[in-house]
Amino acid sequence: MTKGQKTAAIRTKQAVLIALAANIVIAFMKFLVAVFINSAALLAEGFHSLADTSNQAFILLGIRLSAKPADRSHPFGHGKERYIWAFVVSLSIFIIGAVLSIHEGITKIIHPEPLRAPGWGYLVLALSFFFDTFSWRIAFRQLRGQIKKQGFLRSFHVSKSPALFIILLEDSAAIVGLAVAFGGILLSALTGEPVFDGAASIIIGMILTLIAVLLFYETKSLLIGEAVSRTDLRKIKAAIATVPEAKEIVNILTMHLGPEDILVNLDINFANGLSTDEVEAAIDRVEQAIRKELPAVKKIFVEAESRKRRKRGKRQA
């Protein structure tokens, strides 16, 4: 792992830890005050924060398990642990956050109960907004450059490191959810109708459902196995082109085994008349050029042949 990759990994872990600590405090405040003032919307936000807390724990677990070295049972390493636990996050958001929030909202509408001392609810929502905004800014700061170039949804789709985007999505949903909860509590307090509080809880659940579906779709794709981005593919081709003996790239197959762990399979036609030793040396230069251009490439498989298909060999790095 290069110095830049180590720095990125450390920053990702720090962002997750900050988000985890913030959500533990927020969840406790929301549940305590939600029961005290009898607010379904604030309780839904409590479920939201509880889901976020478990999600950060899952992300940290994925980061830790993905660092395990390759072994006999897992010769390609454990990099996809990050994607597995990111997938679990999508389920957690739906089950803990969305389902419970919608259920609580429906219950409040069917069996309405008036709010008590809504001012405490406003205070907790204000404090939660402060913590969530702080966590959101940390994640956004690390992704700002990428988002400015490609836009949020495009950046999220092409990213192979879902942890920071999960935090940013969760915190974005949390900020919107806080606004919805505030509106629901305020309208219920002004009108005396608990239905607004229940409706806010349902809306929060629907927002969480949307986030869960988006994460489910993206992490499923990573689990199946995504190729490198077009930018990284161009880098690989450019690196191969620096080796004069490599005359033609027949095929390139790539797959992310983890955010910083790429597998590359190459079928290259080399110049005619090369000896076996010369082909071996050319393959070495191809591998070195690719790793220099794209350090995340950890495994390279090269199928080499002459342009007339008279020499054929395989090489694993």
Confidence of residue 301 (pLDDT cuts 50, 70, 90): very high
The pLDDT of residue 304 is 79
Shared fold status for 3-224 and 230-316: no
pLDDT tens digits, residue range 228-257?
988 899 999 999 999 999 988 999 999 998
pLDDT tens digits, residue range 94-150?
888 899 999 999 999 999 888 988 999 999 999 889 888 887 888 788 778 777 777
Q: Are the beta carbons of 39 and 185 closer than 8 angstroms?
A: yes
The pLDDT of residue 311 is 44
Q: How many CB atoms lie within 10 A of CB 30?
A: 29
Task: Work out the burial of residue 253: count CB atoms within 10 Å of its CB; fewer than 13 is exposed, 13-18 middle, 19 or more buried.
Answer: exposed
Q: pLDDT exceeding 90 applies to what percent of the chain?
A: 38
Confidence of residue 8 (pLDDT cuts 50, 70, 90): low
- Domain extent listing, the chain: 3-224, 230-316
Q: Give the residue with greater pLDDT, 170 vs 8.
A: 170
The pLDDT of residue 12 is 66
Q: Are the beta carbons of 44 and 100 closer than 8 angstroms?
A: yes
What is this structure's pTM? Answer: 0.77
Alpha-carbon distances of 30 from 19, 68, 93, 179, 195, rounded to whole Å = 16, 37, 17, 14, 20
Is the confidence at residue 215, as pLDDT, over 60? yes
Q: Give the residue with greater pLDDT, 2 vs 72.
A: 72
Q: Give the residue with greater pLDDT, 162 vs 303.
A: 303
pLDDT, mean over the chain: 85
Confidence of residue 164 (pLDDT cuts 50, 70, 90): confident
The pLDDT of residue 105 is 93
Q: Give the residue with greater pLDDT, 2 vs 113.
A: 113
Q: Which two tokens stand for residue 72?
A: 């006999």
pLDDT tens digits, residue range 193-202?
999 999 999 9
pLDDT tens digits, residue range 57-89?
888 888 888 888 888 888 888 888 888 888 888
Q: Are the beta carbons of 263 and 316 closer than 8 angstroms?
A: no
How would CATH label the architecture of 230-316? 2-Layer Sandwich (3.30)
CATH T-level assignment (fold) for domain 3-224: Alpha-lytic protease prodomain-like (1.20.1510)
Q: Which residue has the tokens 């994460």?
A: 215
Residue type, 31: F
Measured distance between the N- and C-terminal CA atoms of the chain, rounded to whole angstroms: 16
Confidence of residue 52 (pLDDT cuts 50, 70, 90): confident
The pLDDT of residue 161 is 76
Q: How many CB atoms lie within 10 A of CB 261?
A: 22
Task: Give SS3 for 255.
Answer: strand
Q: How many CB atoms lie within 10 A of CB 221?
A: 12
The pLDDT of residue 185 is 94
Confidence of residue 3 (pLDDT cuts 50, 70, 90): low
Q: Which residues have CB under 8 Å from 284's CB, separation 6+?
A: none
The pLDDT of residue 11 is 64
